[in-house]
Amino acid sequence: MSSALTDLFPYPIVQAPMAGGVSVPQLAAAVCEAGGLGFLAAGYKTADGMYQEIKQLRGLTGRPFGVNLFLPQPDCADPAAVEVYAHQLAGEAAWYETEPGDPDSGRDDGYDAKLAVLLDNPVPVVSFHFGVPGREVVDALHRVGTFTLVTATTPEEAQAVERAGADAVIAQGVEAGGHQGTHRDVAETDGSGLGLLSLVAQVRETVGLPIVAAGGIMRGSQIAAVLAAGAVAAQLGTAFLATPESGAHPLHKQALTNPLFVRTELTRAFTGRPARGLVNRFLREHGPYAPAAYPEVHHLTAPLRKAAARAGDAQGMALWAGQGHRMARDLPAGQLVEALVAEVRAARGEGR
């Protein structure tokens, strides 16, 4: 590790921000304390909710950590398609004895208010998903001493990240669990996105920024591989989702290694933006028909997903997972960091 960003944490391991209550302060703190970089996910939080989590995390660890924001998305291109999808989901609502959500119940996720909090109460690292922040935002964060990272899924997106003046680019391969952080929602759900090793190599030849590699990484040998390809650190989501500290629903954790769920797919079924999850009934039945409409579809399906979770039915939940899900270990997060570090060393032939 050579860049100033990675001087913040001893091991080249970043715990991915995971919105929806997964990357809670307890998880981030355990990772930070073990020598990785823990992250809070503020994408679905209010500015105050984010502030409270930051306070809680600061009470649990004095080590550097990160906070992740979603970039605001353009207006819904096709409200009629959302209406058609809402009709399609009527049967789900009846089955789970609930109502679909209001697709128009919140387009503004409080991005500006969250930025204001992060400028008033600076944190060590801020990362951005779903787009590139304006240069003035990056400059303002730099002035308060915050490192900035932005997700890219193509070399062209990495160039945009470099132009914005960010400190590092998160190269997210198509293997990644959860949402693809494409800058515009042009992503196909057919899996034609770049695989991680190819993406890291291409980004390395395109921009001069330090690269954090994300997507499908479950073992230290894979971390060693992305470091050899030119990354300075690896960002792992699914691997940390399985830990006892993660706030993921127990059914979600169990599903990662349940032989019932053997495949993942990119789908718009739950949120309207391509995201990788375990193939379950909801994804199979609705994925092919879901429109490109984030966050409208996210609001529409939220009560259905909650009702499925209440009913203990994993077939109706959004089971975000990367392609490596079957290799998940339910080790405590600190022990997982230690195991990964030992595996990196073994892969490099160190200590022999």
Ligand X SMILES: Cc1cc2nc3c(=O)[nH]c(=O)nc-3n(C[C@H](O)[C@H](O)[C@H](O)COP(=O)(O)O)c2cc1C
Min CB(43)–ligand X separation in Å: 4
- Structure-block tokens of residue 48: 């105050």
Query: Judged by CB under 6 A, which stretch of 112-120, 137-145, 225-233, 237-245 contacts ligand X?
Result: 237-245
> Distance between CA atoms of 255 and 238, rounded to whole angstroms?
12
Q: Which stretch binds ligand X (CB under 6 A): 48-56, 117-125, 132-140, 317-325?
A: 317-325
Contact segment (CB under 6 A) with ligand X among 82-90, 199-207, 235-243, 303-311 equals 235-243
Cα–Cα distance measured from residue 41 to residue 253, given in angstroms and rounded to the nearest whole number: 18
Q: Calculate the dihedral angle through the C-alpha atoms of 265, 269, 273, 274, rounding to the nearest 10 degrees.
A: 10
CA angle 257, 269, 184 (to 5 degrees): 105
For position 271 contacting ligand X by CB under 6 A, the verdict is: no
Pick from 309, 257, 316: nearest CA to 285: 316
Q: Is 2 exposed, middle or buried (0-12, 13-18, 19+ CB in 10 A)?
A: exposed
Among 148, 151, 271, 315, binds ligand X (CB under 6 A): 151
Q: How far is the CB of 193 from ligand X (least distance, A)?
A: 12
Give me the least distance between CB of 271 and ligand X, in Å please: 11
User: How many residues interact with ligand X (rule CB under 6 A)?
Assistant: 31
Q: Distance of alpha carbon 18 from its chain centroid, rounded?
A: 5
Q: Is 129 in the site for ligand X (CB under 6 A)?
A: yes
Q: Is 322 in the site for ligand X (CB under 6 A)?
A: yes
Asked whether the bond before 295 is cis by omega within 30 degrees of 0, the reply is: yes
Check binding of 41 to ligand X (CB under 6 A).
yes
211: contact with ligand X by CB under 6 A: no
Report the residue from 237, 291, 316, 334 that binds ligand X according to the rule CB under 6 A: 237
Residue 250 preceded by cis peptide, ω within 30: no
Q: Which of these segments, 93-101, 112-120, 211-219, 305-313, binds ligand X (CB under 6 A)?
A: 211-219
Name which of residues 91 to 120 contact ligand X (CB under 6 A). Answer: none
Helix boundaries (H) for 63-195: 79-88, 90-95, 111-120, 135-143, 155-163
Instruction: Give the shortest CB-277-to-ligand X separation in angstroms.
Output: 8
Asked if 36 interacts with ligand X (CB under 6 A), we say no
Site membership for ligand X, residue 177 (CB under 6 A):
yes
**Binding piece for ligand X, criterion CB under 6 A, among 15-23, 184-192, 293-301, 327-335:** 15-23
Buried b (16+ CB within 10 A) or exposed e, 175-186: bbbbbbbbbebe
Tokens of 212: 């954090």
Among 133, 165, 178, 193, which residue interacts with ligand X (rule: CB under 6 A)? Answer: 178
